[in-house]
Amino acid sequence: MATYITQELPGILRKEFPFNGKMSITGHSMGGHGALVTFLRNPGMFVSCSAFAPICNPINCPWGQKAFSGYLGSDKKSWENWDATELMKKYNGPKTSILIDQGVEDGFYKQKQLLPEAFVAACKQKGHPVICRMQEGYDHSYYFVSTFMADHVWYHADMLYGETKYLS
């Protein structure tokens, strides 16, 4: 999936559409984790990054430990290369703000599977701007994503086109 997002898809865009080379990335849940990791592993490739209820620190949650041991093996040090919080601690790329929305009623959040606070702490430690909005009354559902999708579209549009309507 990583090479599709970072190599194949941009190639298709260049070939098939008028494309200025600017890209943004977003995702929800595991896709939010993928968006954060892809953004952090490819400094400067994306002008903006946002996520809905992302899994932010999988090496420190039960789900992530199970998945990483299954996919990546038992070398926990290697897991850091696929954990957004750990990647942020080492990140030295452009300090583009990252937008995260998290539903406070999200069952995965309540079970400590998502850990956005760890990611925000890593951003603060690195001096990297992050906007993490904790949304009262929202869970992990389509309704949550659809409610705040326009905000994410505007955020990316602002970053892609150099305006600051959303961030001001």
Pairwise CA distance, residues 104 & 29, whole Å:
14
pLDDT number for residue 164? 63
User: Which ranges constitute the DSSP H helices of the chain?
Assistant: 2-3, 9-16, 30-41, 62-72, 76-79, 84-90, 107-110, 116-126, 142-161
- Ramachandran region of residue 25, left (φ > 0), alpha (ψ -120 to 50) or beta? beta
Edge-first strand order for the sheet with 48-52 is 24-28, 48-52, 98-103, 130-135
Catalytic machinery residues: 29, 106, 140
pLDDT number for residue 37? 98
Query: 15 in helix, strand or coil?
Result: helix
Contact 59, 80 (CB under 8 A): yes
Q: What is the pLDDT along the chain (168 residues), one digit of tens a residue?
A: 789 999 999 899 889 998 888 999 999 999 999 999 999 999 999 999 999 999 999 999 999 999 999 999 999 999 999 999 999 999 999 999 999 999 999 999 999 999 999 999 999 999 999 999 999 999 999 999 999 999 999 999 999 987 666 554
What are the CA-CA distances from residue 100 to residues 7, 46, 50, 132 (Å)?
Answer: 25, 16, 6, 5
Cβ-in-10-Å burial (0-12, 13-18, 19+) of 147 comes to middle
Residues 6+ apart with CB under 8 A from 70: none
Name 131's bridge partners.
Answer: 99
pLDDT number for residue 19? 81
Contact 148, 157 (CB under 8 A): no
